[in-house]
Amino acid sequence: MIRGLYTAASGMLKGQKKLDVVTNNLANSSTTGYKRDIAVYQSFHEVLTKRINDDKAGQLPNPNIGSMSLGSDVVQVYTDFTQGRLIKTDKATDMSFKNSDSSFFAVSVPGEEGDTEMYTRNGSWTISEDGYLITREGYKAVGLYGPIYLASDEFVVQEDGSIYLDDEYIDTLKIVDFVDTEQLQKYGEHLVGAPDDAQIGQFEGQVAQGFIEGSNINTIEEMLEVITLMRSYEANQKVIKAYDESLGKIINEAGRI
């Protein structure tokens, strides 16, 4: 009977963890370049159940009852890097990728030990007061020759990421295409990091100027998932309540004997 309490409780904890992931997806459904997170479940190892006191008379040659599952838990939060829909803005500083799920713009993030290169799908850039192409958070866009300096927003970006200002070549956006996006880790502020040994592939998509990439969140599916999780949580609550009432009766009746 006690095992049922633990199984129901683990189901509630699992549902709460997944609900946190789903509600975070919903909160970022309108965030430029946001990628959906998916909670991955894994069952606990099955255990073998045996009779331990019923074999004293030697009448039970096989005390094994069978295997028993103890529920499951969230073991990983997987990020779906499928490309979101493109939204036309006609702003020169807005850029996105076409026909590519694994390509990222490189940005320079300052830190205590110097600048670190990180990556983003959010191409909603702006130009800083000192003329650099930066993210909304202030991180500089990286080109093949360093931070990209632009004296004006009247520039043109080609499909390969090369930038021209008044028909003069300025630089080319550093675009990194990861072979395995499962190695990437989110760091907030639209940024992801990659391990040093991450494999880099050839960029085969196109850069679209005047477009931004929306999130890949389907709000209807996420809302349905919230409803399902809430019903599952309530069902486990009822199971725990039923066990609690049964144990209470057993203890009270045993106390009267």
Residue in the structure block whose two tokens are 């030697």: 58
* Same domain, residue pair 128 and 246: no
* Same domain, residue pair 179 and 118: yes
- Residue 208, classed as helix, strand or coil, is strand
* Same domain, residue pair 160 and 208: yes
* Same domain, residue pair 130 and 41: no
pLDDT tens column, 44-92: 666 666 666 665 555 656 666 666 666 677 888 889 999 999 999 999 9
H-helix or E-strand spanning residue 171: strand 168-172
pLDDT tens column, 187-235: 888 899 999 889 999 999 999 999 999 999 999 999 999 999 999 999 9
- Whether residue 124 contacts residue 140, with contact meaning beta carbons closer than 8 Å, is answered with no
* Same domain, residue pair 180 and 228: no
* Same domain, residue pair 114 and 196: yes
* Same domain, residue pair 118 and 161: yes
Helix 219-256, helix 2-27: angle, nearest 10: 160
Mean pLDDT rounded to a whole number for the chain: 88
Alpha-carbon Rg of the chain, whole angstroms? 27
pLDDT tens column, 52-65: 666 555 565 666 66
* Same domain, residue pair 183 and 119: yes
Give the Cα separation of 95 and 87 in Å (integer): 10
Domain ranges, residue 67: 2-80+218-256
Give the Cα separation of 247 and 257 in Å (integer): 16
* pLDDT at residue 72, rounded to an integer: 74
- Residue 47, classed as helix, strand or coil, is strand
Contacts of range 81-86, beta carbons closer than 8 Å, 24 or more positions apart = 81/35, 81/181, 81/184, 82/35, 82/36, 82/216, 83/213, 83/216, 84/33, 84/34, 84/35, 84/213, 84/214, 84/215, 84/216, 84/217, 85/213, 85/214, 86/208, 86/211, 86/212, 86/213, 86/214
> What is the per-residue DSSP string for 51-93?
-SSTTTTS--S--EEEEE---EEEEEEEEE-----EEE---TT
* pLDDT at residue 7, rounded to an integer: 80
* Same domain, residue pair 98 and 115: yes
Domain tally, the chain = 2
* Same domain, residue pair 11 and 90: no
* pLDDT at residue 63, rounded to an integer: 67
* Same domain, residue pair 108 and 169: yes
- Residue 33, classed as helix, strand or coil, is coil
Residue in the structure block whose two tokens are 């803005």: 89
